[in-house]
Amino acid sequence: QKEVEQNSGPLSVPEGAIASLNCTYSDRGSQSFFWYRQYSGKSPELIMSIYSNGDKEDGRFTAQLNKASQYVSLLIRDSQPSDSATYLCAVNFSGNTGKLIFGQGTTLQVKP
């Protein structure tokens, strides 16, 4: 069964610190990986996508992918209270349909 695993948290970090969110997936053939942010009561918002091994940076966010270890992570630098949300890792196991498998999400709390 194709699975995406995340620690549900909550992960608590002080304001200004680096938050590190982790995700593992079961299908070695997966090609596309995404991080979504979901505020309470709202729908998910795409914040990062990554397709190749290594790091991809966008502002305060860095996504890291290691296909050999089947591991993808999201780093948030200079964390702000407004970053407090649930972060969903999603993996595209089936490249043709675009269907995504979501992890359970990690709740991040950034304390002022």
Partner 1 sequence: GAVVSQHPSWVICKSGTSVKIECRSLDFQATTMFWYRQFPKQSLMLMATSNEGSKATYEQGVEKDKFLINHASLTLSTLTVTSAHPEDSSFYICSAKGDRLYEQYFGPGTRLTVT
Q: Which residues bind partner 1 (CB under 8 A)?
A: 32, 34, 36, 42-46, 49, 51, 88, 90, 92, 97-100, 102-105
Measure Cα distances from 99 to 25, 30, 88, 91, 103 in Å.
Answer: 15, 11, 15, 8, 13
Judged by CB, which is closer to partner 1: 36, or 79? 36
| 8 Å CB contact between 92 and 32 | yes
Judged by CB, which is closer to partner 1: 90, or 110? 90
Quote the least distance from Cβ 63 to partner 1, whole Å: 13
